[in-house]
């Protein structure tokens, strides 16, 4: 559901290790999901998306996994780098397609340790 | 390619003063437009969305209003700002076309009400 009024959890990862950021979504009818990266003072940046007819999608150093049974989404970042430090949000979009409301997860702050 | 602009980037306003934040999108027609608010260290709260000129849907009752005077222009306003209006305001757009769900954010406006 809406992430209003919730403080962000933090994930600390050693540089070079893999990161896994999790998100539980609210609507079983949601058919499209996005992961965003937000650096301090900037707008969220689109990272990767996945549709509900897929379980896994890979990008450059990132993989998104979707488990519709438990309404769970994860973002895996391989070989985490200092530049990956940011807040990561998942967002879900429900039919009808292309409209209108995107529900954002709580957000997770990723800290990469040197 | 499409781009989204917001201005001003930062704004400091006294309590009780009016507000006008502007968002414009280039490179697309008839986009869905959104205003979000994000408190420091917290998630995104959807304030308004618009599917066309003059069409505004409000998500949360509050001291703010939105208008869409032109196809690619979205304005967030207030007649009298409150201290609680201090936040980071984000504009976003999507195509609104079925099957094309990606949503993209602007750089944001940091508003401080004193």
Two structure tokens written together for A109: 């702050």
Question: Mean pLDDT for chain A?
Answer: 88
DSSP calls for chain B: --EEEEE-SEEEE-TT--EEEEEEEES-SS-EEEEEEE-TTB-EEEEEEEEETTEEEESS-SS-EEEEEETTEEEEEESS--GGG-EEEEEEEE---TT---EEE---EEEEE-
| Confidence band, pLDDT 50/70/90 cuts, at residue A44 | very high
| Gap between the Cα atoms of B45 and A4, Å rounded | 6
Residue B70 backbone phi and psi in degrees, to 5: -135, 165
**Is the pLDDT at A20 greater than 90, yes or no?**
yes
Distance from CA of B26 to the nearest CA of A (A): 17
- A44 contact residues in B (CB cutoff 8 A): 44, 90, 105
Q: Which of B39, B88, B90, B103 to mutate to test the interface with A (most CBs of A within 10 A)?
A: B103
- How much is the average pLDDT of A97-101? 58
Between residues A86 and A3, which one has the greater pLDDT?
A86
Give tens-digit pLDDT for B4-41. 999 999 999 999 999 999 999 999 989 999 999 998 77
Q: Check if the beta carbon of residue B5 is closer than 8 Å to that of residue B91.
A: no
Give tens-digit pLDDT for B49-101. 998 999 998 888 778 999 999 999 999 999 999 999 999 999 999 887 666 67
| Gap between the Cα atoms of B31 and B68, Å rounded | 11
B59 to chain A: closest CA residue: A101
Q: Which of B2, B42, B93 to mutate to test the interface with A (most CBs of A within 10 A)?
A: B42
Range 26-85 of B in CB contact (< 8 A) with A: 32, 34, 41-46, 49, 51, 57, 59
Between residues A1 and B79, which one has the greater pLDDT?
B79
- A97 contact residues in B (CB cutoff 8 A): 98-101
| Gap between the Cα atoms of B79 and B18, Å rounded | 5
Using CA atoms, how far residue A71 sits from A98, B52, B73, in Å, is 20, 32, 35
| Confidence band, pLDDT 50/70/90 cuts, at residue B2 | confident
* B96 interfacial to chain A (CB closer than 8 Å): yes
Q: Which of A100, A107, A111 to mutate to test the interface with B (most CBs of B within 10 A)?
A: A100
């Amino acid at each position: 559901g809406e992430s209003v009024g919730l403080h962000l959890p933090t994930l600390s990862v050693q540089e070079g290790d893999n990161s896994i950021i999790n998100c539980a979504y609210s609507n079983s009818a949601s058919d499209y999901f996005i992961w965003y990266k937000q650096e301090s003072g900037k707008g969220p940046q689109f990272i990767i998306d996945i549709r509900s007819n897929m379980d896994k999608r890979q990008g450059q150093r990132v993989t998104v996994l979707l488990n519709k049974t438990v309404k769970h989404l994860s973002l895996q970042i391989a070989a985490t780098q200092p530049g990956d430090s940011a807040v990561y949000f998942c967002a879900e979009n429900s039919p009808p397609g292309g409209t209108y409301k995107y529900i954002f997860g709580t957000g997770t702050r990723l800290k990469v340790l040197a | 390619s499409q781009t989204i602009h917001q201005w001003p980037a930062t704004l400091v306003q006294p309590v009780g003063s009016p507000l006008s934040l502007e968002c414009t999108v280039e490179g697309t027609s008839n986009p869905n437009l959104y205003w979000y608010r994000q408190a420091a260290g917290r998630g995104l709260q959807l304030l308004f969305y618009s599917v066309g000129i003059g069409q505004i849907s409000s998500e949360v009752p509050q001291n703010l209003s939105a208008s869409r005077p032109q196809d690619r222009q979205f304005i967030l306003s207030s007649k009298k700002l409150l201290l609680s209006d201090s936040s980071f305001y984000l504009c976003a757009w999507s195509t609104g076309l079925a099957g094309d769900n990606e949503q993209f954010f602007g750089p944001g406006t940091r508003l401080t009400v004193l």
